[in-house]
Amino acid sequence: MKRLALNRHTKSILKHAAGWFFIVVGVVMIITPGQGLLSILVGIYLLADTVPAFGRLKALIQRKFPKAAAYVDRRLHRRKKGAPTPDPSGSASSPHTRRGFPDSR
């Protein structure tokens, strides 16, 4: 069976479709029970690279809510780069601990 090659163009189309999907579903969820505003924000964040108006709106949101925007950026960049999860205690992790908790082995 042949594998589907996800090149840059295919990923862009899927990201664009997902962004618009989240925006439309978010608008519907504003009227019906659900997380409408959150879905719209996810759609805006996905479309910010391709649609200039959403890019400006994302920049405005980042200026108004810098802590929340920094948190989202850290989470996304960590997943993209595959960096390990930081230690919640703030100290360097030793080989005998995992996420600040003693090793249970």
pLDDT per position as a tens digit, 66-103 = 998 888 778 877 665 555 555 445 455 445 545 555 55
pLDDT score for 79: 60
In total, the chain counts a number of residues equal to 105
pLDDT over threshold 80, residue 34: yes
pLDDT band, residue 105 (cuts 50/70/90): low
CB atoms inside a 10 Å sphere around CB 70: 11
DSSP symbols for 56-97: HHHHHHHHH-HHHHHHHHHHHHHHHHTPPPPPTTSSPPPTTE
Closest-CA residue to 42 (of 15, 81, 67, 79): 15
* CA torsion, ordered 16, 22, 27, 33, to nearest 10 deg: 170
pLDDT score for 4: 62
User: How does the average pLDDT of the chain come out, rounded?
Assistant: 78
Mean predicted confidence (pLDDT) in 4-33: 88
